[in-house]
Amino acid sequence: MEPSKGWDLPGRILMGPGPSNVSPRVLRAMSMPLVGHLDPSFIQLMEEVKDLLRYVFRTRNEVTIPVSGTGSAGMETCLVNLVEPGDPVLVCVNGLFGQRMCDIVTRVGGELGRLDAEWGSIVDPAQVRKALDRGKVKVVAIVHAETSTGVLQPLEEIGKTVREHGQLLIVDAVTSLGGHPVETDGWRIDACYSGTQKCLSCPPGLSPVTFSDRAMETVRNRRSPVQSWYLDMGLLFKYWGEERAYHHTAPISANYALREALRLIREEGLEARYARHELNQTALVAGLEAMGLELLVAEGYRLWSLTTVKIPEQVSDAAVRGRLLTEYGIEIGGGLGPLKGRVWRIGLMGESSTRNNVMLLLLALDEILRQQGMNVEPGAGTRAAGDVYARHGARDSAA
Amino acid sequence: MEPSKGWDLPGRILMGPGPSNVSPRVLRAMSMPLVGHLDPSFIQLMEEVKDLLRYVFRTRNEVTIPVSGTGSAGMETCLVNLVEPGDPVLVCVNGLFGQRMCDIVTRVGGELGRLDAEWGSIVDPAQVRKALDRGKVKVVAIVHAETSTGVLQPLEEIGKTVREHGQLLIVDAVTSLGGHPVETDGWRIDACYSGTQKCLSCPPGLSPVTFSDRAMETVRNRRSPVQSWYLDMGLLFKYWGEERAYHHTAPISANYALREALRLIREEGLEARYARHELNQTALVAGLEAMGLELLVAEGYRLWSLTTVKIPEQVSDAAVRGRLLTEYGIEIGGGLGPLKGRVWRIGLMGESSTRNNVMLLLLALDEILRQQGMNVEPGAGTRAAGDVYARHGARDSAA
């Protein structure tokens, strides 16, 4: 018999593009013994999860469920249900996840139109309007929070434009849901998907998805069956809805975890949670800039949950990330695609968005970057971040 | 702030068609804090999981990974990767899961041929040969352990026939892997999938899948892209293989759990585990028959992991299952499709396959069935089962 090595996992401060750190309450919930997926207690749990997801998505959509796969499965769910072969689709692309949507639209047999913007910039709402005025489109797909670049995409105006044109709007909120306002109903989003392992601070494995009544009507009126059986929203909602018709076996433990993570969000309150994400990112940015680092994204369009920092020329990407991981136990992310080797991606998502994490990372970077030969004033980063927290504290106690 | 109700889940003895009970070691492993999915420690864990899965699948296939979805996602993975639009496919159907394969083949655009057998019977290998002699087929798909009927399908001869005809064989081993011998290489299976929540005794959420070199060659030589991006085996293996190319974020905690569950299997040993499943099912069957209950499946073709019992006419399906759940905390399954209301499905999978569970269930059924007016000799079931264990003990000590 081999010795069990179940506890050989290192402790990590997760400040990359996800997963984020998970609350002990969520880990404990996930480790509860299982019940069956048709057990009355699990059916009640499913109802709670749907309600709590509606709260986080800020929607009244009846069809609001966790798909039994990761965020990418959520992306595929939205696209395969709403796009049929030959349907014209406009995908806005300013990063890797917009590209991925194009890939899926092509596999579905949709007629792909692309609206490209530079990686690190937003997609201009005026350009979206222009593109829609030019030609007939059935579905518009866009990323709210581009995990590859750290860009926050304004959606309110685009939502209005798409609705005026009578089209459907699909939104990727993988890196924003639970950290940034996502106004599913307010912005007239027809299908929105996310992942559990970002600002919801739950282990990866489920993808919360919400479909508007218009979206579900489109699913019901399809000319052809959804190409994926596993992700067929009609079948999925028969299982998650009142019929309880067996489809697949829902991941029991992952749903325990999700319920607990969503309860934590409800207890904190969305507004307070957004404010926490904003404050910690403001402090991080002040610290990074005080150290002489530059950000990829212009002010006003930066995600609170993910900050992209340009890697200084004299500095080794691999060495810095390697030392952060092995010496400090801190994970940050590297760049993807054209940004590979050019940026770091620093996540402050959910449980990972704390003052301690911001300060620790700045402290570690201060030491490592100076050893890499960068001209950093000792302590400048943590001082600048500390000032942000102090100003915030003063404002709070004045209020 | 709402009170946390994270521990409001009832204790259950899971003797339905899955999930099965999960070892505390697996639950603890799953509740460990997370690392990133590109963390060196997670990459090592991925290698361990692949090795352990090869052990359980009895294969040398390099491409042996857990797909990030439930067993049905594994089914879809095999079919969407190996079937292209217009490809002729023969699906053997003797239960719900064979039907589901037909549904997916149709959605893929494959040219579906069905070989039907009665629900509760096996598919005759001679009929498979006849069907293959009649017409050209690219892929043959068959269920090893039909979870809807409790039938164990002999595969060795069919594997030989399919290979002789130069075709690919896809096998559903959702309810057999880890409880019954599954000889992936020995039976010449080209693609095999399973679920974690049956005889592997792990929470649902992952689907172990193995592809032979022939299967991967077929994937590489496709004329068209795989219709699912999420389940594209080429992309999945770039992530799980040496390239480590980012595809999706693997469910970290679920993979912790799977590693620990597979280690438990390795510690027990496959042969011992099969023998345990066989013994407990033999005792259960002896007990059920001594109580005057009839089984759906003929001797010789019964699963050790799942026993289908005909519901006696005078007895209420819902009342019996309801009382088992609420009074004894025991879950058993009802029938599906044409067997709805006609059979119970009693699972003895993985951790749930114990002498105590067999005896408890027989004791509970004895009481409930007599109260429902069935003429059962008090104690007949547990005595007959006890005799099986006693004979086994005597044989063991004589050996």
Same domain, B87 and B214: yes
Same domain, A86 and A132: yes
Q: Are strands A145-146 and A88-93 parallel, antiparallel or unpaired?
A: unpaired
For A32, the closest of B7, B68, B76 (CB atoms) is B7
Contacts of A172 (CB under 8 A, 6+ apart): A75, A97, A101, A141, A142, A143, A144, A145, A192, A193
Same domain, A292 and A216: no
- Tell me the chain A residues in contact with residue B248 when contact means C-beta distances shorter than 8 Å: 70-73
> CA-CA distance, A372 to A332, in Å (whole number)?
17
What Rg do the C-alpha atoms of chain B give, in angstroms?
A: 22
**Among all residues of chain A, which has the CA nearest to that of B41?**
A9
Strands laid side by side in the B306-310 sheet: B306-310, B343-347, B333-334
Q: Count A/B contacts: CB-CB distance under 8 Å.
A: 237
Strands laid side by side in the B168-172 sheet: B63-67, B207-211, B191-193, B168-172, B139-143, B88-93, B111-116
Inter-chain residue contact B70 with A72, CB threshold 8 Å: no
Same domain, A252 and A388: no
Label residue B300 exposed, middle or buried (CB < 10 Å: 0-12, 13-18, 19+).
Answer: exposed
- Position B2 in a domain: no
- Tell me the chain B residues in contact with residue A73 when contact means C-beta distances shorter than 8 Å: 68-69, 230, 248
- Tell me the chain A residues in contact with residue B230 when contact means C-beta distances shorter than 8 Å: 69, 72-73, 76, 231
- The domain that holds A382 is classified in CATH as 3.90.1150.10
Work out the number of other CB atoms within 10 angstroms of the CB of residue B57.
Answer: 24
- Position B18 in a domain: no
Nearest-CA distance A64 → chain B (Å) = 19
- Position B369 in a domain: yes
pLDDT at A1: 39
In tens, the pLDDT along B176-216 reads 999 999 999 999 999 999 999 999 999 999 999 999 999 99
> CA-CA distance, A239 to A191, in Å (whole number)?
19
Going by the DSSP 8-state scheme, the letter that residue B58 receives in this structure is T
**Among all residues of chain B, which has the CA nearest to that of A260?**
B6
Same domain, A220 and A281: no
- The domain that holds A160 is classified in CATH as 3.40.640.10
> CA-CA distance, A202 to A73, in Å (whole number)?
16
Same domain, A83 and A221: yes
Q: Which residues of A353-365 are buried (b: 16+ CB within 10 A; e: fewer)?
A: bebebbbbbbbbb
**Most distant pair of Cα atoms in chain A: their distance:** 69
Examine the fold and report which residue of A267, A284, A314 is the final residue of a domain before the chain moves on: A267
ipTM of model over 0.90: yes
In tens, the pLDDT along A166-184 reads 999 999 999 999 999 999 9
Q: Are B273 and B56 in contact (CB under 8 A)?
A: no
- Position A353 in a domain: yes
Examine the fold and report which residue of B202, B232, B267 is the final residue of a domain before the chain moves on: B267
Same domain, A122 and A56: yes
Q: What is the pLDDT along chain B (399 residues), one digit of tens a residue?
A: 344 455 678 899 999 999 999 999 999 999 999 999 999 999 999 999 999 999 999 999 999 999 999 999 999 999 999 999 999 999 999 999 999 999 999 999 999 999 999 999 999 999 999 999 998 999 999 999 999 999 999 999 999 999 999 999 999 999 999 999 999 999 999 999 999 999 999 999 999 999 999 999 999 999 999 999 999 999 999 999 999 999 999 999 999 999 999 999 999 999 999 999 999 999 999 999 999 999 999 999 999 999 999 999 999 999 999 999 999 999 999 999 999 999 999 999 999 999 999 999 999 999 999 999 999 999 999 999 999 999 999 887 765
Same domain, A33 and A131: yes
> CA-CA distance, A296 to A342, in Å (whole number)?
10
pLDDT at B396: 72
pLDDT at B1: 39
Same domain, B212 and B66: yes
- Position A360 in a domain: yes
Residue B174 contacts A where some CB pair is shorter than 8 Å: no
Same domain, A112 and A260: yes
> CA-CA distance, B208 to B211, in Å (whole number)?
10
Report the domain count for chain A.
2
What Rg do the C-alpha atoms of chain A give, in angstroms?
A: 22
- Position B240 in a domain: yes
Q: Are B159 and B331 in contact (CB under 8 A)?
A: no
Examine the fold and report which residue of A242, A267, A292 is the final residue of a domain before the chain moves on: A267
- Position B4 in a domain: no
For B251, the closest of A21, A25, A204 (CB atoms) is A204
Closest CA to A22 of B249, B35, B202: B35
In tens, the pLDDT along A347-367 reads 999 999 999 999 999 999 999
- Tell me the chain A residues in contact with residue B28 when contact means C-beta distances shorter than 8 Å: 6, 31
* Residues forming a β-bridge with A121: A119
pLDDT at B5: 57
Q: Is pLDDT at A399 greater than 60 in this prediction?
A: no
- Position A289 in a domain: yes
Same domain, A292 and A155: no
Same domain, A223 and A287: no
Range of the domain at A69: 24-267
